[in-house]
């Protein structure tokens, strides 16, 4: 099997799994317990917090662990809404955000909060000028993802952050697809909130990360005990948090080498497919995108059909975000780029990761082209 859907999830790193395993077996103590077994778990959590903070240029107490990126995104949006519940409120976001942001915004609109969904250009990039023009006197939050999960386009977050420094507006970026894959520094980005998820950078599923700039208030997500400084009650997922710490440390340390290798693999994949299927279209920005991700349209065929045929050939890839797969609806991201519904439904996403190798590229190209040919011949 060739796994080429790393934007959906990643295999846990071998070395990270070894570091995590003791906290599932021997070191299984509750981090809130006062005896030594609990104290070891507590120290492991704080070590992971230190590793995460160092990886993104944050302070130790600016990091809070959650169950995942979606939870962290919802927490930010709902917390800001709650803070300004007695005032007129406006949120600025984009049309291509992950559904954990979009659906939270749709929910907040039902409570009377105004939301502006900014368009993107044909490469999936947001205009800084459009962000500036969207700001209103009652704008309280701007939420724009660092890199898109379907097309990989990287947004000018640092430029937007600089723009917002002159405004009394909070700034959040969903960096779930970015952390561990491209350099991420919260100071350089000038963000107030940043969210990430460990299973996207070879950690374990079930652990998310929320960065909150020092000095900002954050209302509790879950009430109960004093875990996570009283912000998120409940017994901590110690093993998952430990894995997140070591995974982010490992992935950030390997970014330069891994990025170079994955970019070359994507380029060879696109060139190989285009050689046999010249009509194939690359969606998103061909240059300013995540190193291992590429989204392709195969006009006249169904991306879902391609995906299922490739699955039979032992190649795993997707048609869109894993969170929306199976709905049969065209990607909201591709529609925002200006594609028709039929064009959007012809797309597949290939996303290589840490455990893919250059030898797999030829097999992926052959499998994709053979599947495409079979569909065309049987129409």
As a whole-number percent, the residues of the chain with pLDDT over 90 amount to 92
The confidence score (pLDDT) of residue 324 equals 54
Q: Please determine, for residue 321, whether its predicted confidence score (pLDDT) is greater than 90.
A: no
- Is residue 369 annotated as part of the catalytic site, yes or no? no
* pLDDT at 322 exceeding the cut of 60: no
Which carries the bigger pLDDT value, residue 329 or residue 322? 329
Give the start-end residues of each E strand in the chain.
2-3, 63-66, 90-94, 114-118, 139-143, 170-174, 193-197, 208-212, 281-283, 293-297, 315-316, 347-351
The beta strand positions in 4-125, using DSSP E, are: 63-66, 90-94, 114-118
Q: What is the pLDDT of residue 239?
A: 97
Give 201-234 pLDDT, tens digit per residue.
Answer: 999 999 999 999 999 988 988 899 999 999 999 9
In the structure, what pLDDT confidence band is assigned to residue 379 with cuts at 50, 70 and 90? confident
Rounded CA Rg of the chain: 21
Contacts of 254 (CB under 8 A, 6+ apart): 354
3 close to 349: Cβ distance less than 8 angstroms: no
> What top-level class would CATH report for the domain 14-253?
alpha beta
Residue 182: pLDDT band by 50, 70, 90 thresholds? very high
Give me the pLDDT at residue 327, please.
Answer: 63
Domain residue extents for the chain: 2-10+255-377, 14-253
Is the pTM of the predicted complex or chain greater than 0.85? Answer: yes
Residues 230-244, mean pLDDT to the nearest whole number: 95
Active-site annotation holder among 288, 316, 323, 369? 323
Burial 12-28 (b: 16+ CB within 10 A, else e): bbeebbebbeebeeebe
2-55 pLDDT per residue, tens: 999 999 999 999 999 999 999 999 999 999 999 999 999 999 999 999 999 999
User: What's the CATH class of domain 2-10+255-377?
Assistant: alpha beta
Q: Judge whether residue 323 has pLDDT over 90.
A: no
pLDDT band of residue 320 (cuts 50, 70, 90) is confident
**Integer Cα distance of 75 and 86 in angstroms:** 19
């Amino acid at each position: 099997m060739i796994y080429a859907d790393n934007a959906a999830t990643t295999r846990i790193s071998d070395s990270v799994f070894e570091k995590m395993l003791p906290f599932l077996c021997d070191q299984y103590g509750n981090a809130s317990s006062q005896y030594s077994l609990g104290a070891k778990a507590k120290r492991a959590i704080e070590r992971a917090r230190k590793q995460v903070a160092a990886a993104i240029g944050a302070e130790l107490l600016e990091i809070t662990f959650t169950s995942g990126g979606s939870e962290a995104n919802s927490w930010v949006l709902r917390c800001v809404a709650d803070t300004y519940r007695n005032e007129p409120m406006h949120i600025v976001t984009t049309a291509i955000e992950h559904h954990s942001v979009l659906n939270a915004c749709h929910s907040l609109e039902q409570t009377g909060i105004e939301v502006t969904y900014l368009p993107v250009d044909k490469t999936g990039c947001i205009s800084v000028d459009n962000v500036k023009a969207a700001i209103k006197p009652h704008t309280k939050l701007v939420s724009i993802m660092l890199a898109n999960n379907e097309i990989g386009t990287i947004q000018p977050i640092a430029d937007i952050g600089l723009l917002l420094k002159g405004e009394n507006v909070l700034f959040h970026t969903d960096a779930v697809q970015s952390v561990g894959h491209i350099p991420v520094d919260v100071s350089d980005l000038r963000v107030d909130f940043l969210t990430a998820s460990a299973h996207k950078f070879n950690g374990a599923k079930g652990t998310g990360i929320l960065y909150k700039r020092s000095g900002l208030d954050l209302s509790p997500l879950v009430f109960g005990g004093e875990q996570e400084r009283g912000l998120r009650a409940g017994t901590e997922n110690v093993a998952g948090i430990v894995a997140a710490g070591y995974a982010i440390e490992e992935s950030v340390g390997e970014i330069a080498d891994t990025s170079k290798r994955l970019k070359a693999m994507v380029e060879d994949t696109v060139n190989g497919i285009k050689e046999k299927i010249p009509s194939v279209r690359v969606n998103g920005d061909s240059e300013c995108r995540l190193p291992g991700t590429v989204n392709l349209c195969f006009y006249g065929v169904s991306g879902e059909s391609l995906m299922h045929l490739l699955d039979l050939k032992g190649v795993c890839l997707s048609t869109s975000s894993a969170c929306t797969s199976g709905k049969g609806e065209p990607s909201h991201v591709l529609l925002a780029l200006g594609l028709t519904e039929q064009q959007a439904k012809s797309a597949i996403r290939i996303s290589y990761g840490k455990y893919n190798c250059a030898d797999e590229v030829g097999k992926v190209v052959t499998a994709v082209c053979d599947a495409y040919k079979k569909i065309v011949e049987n129409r």
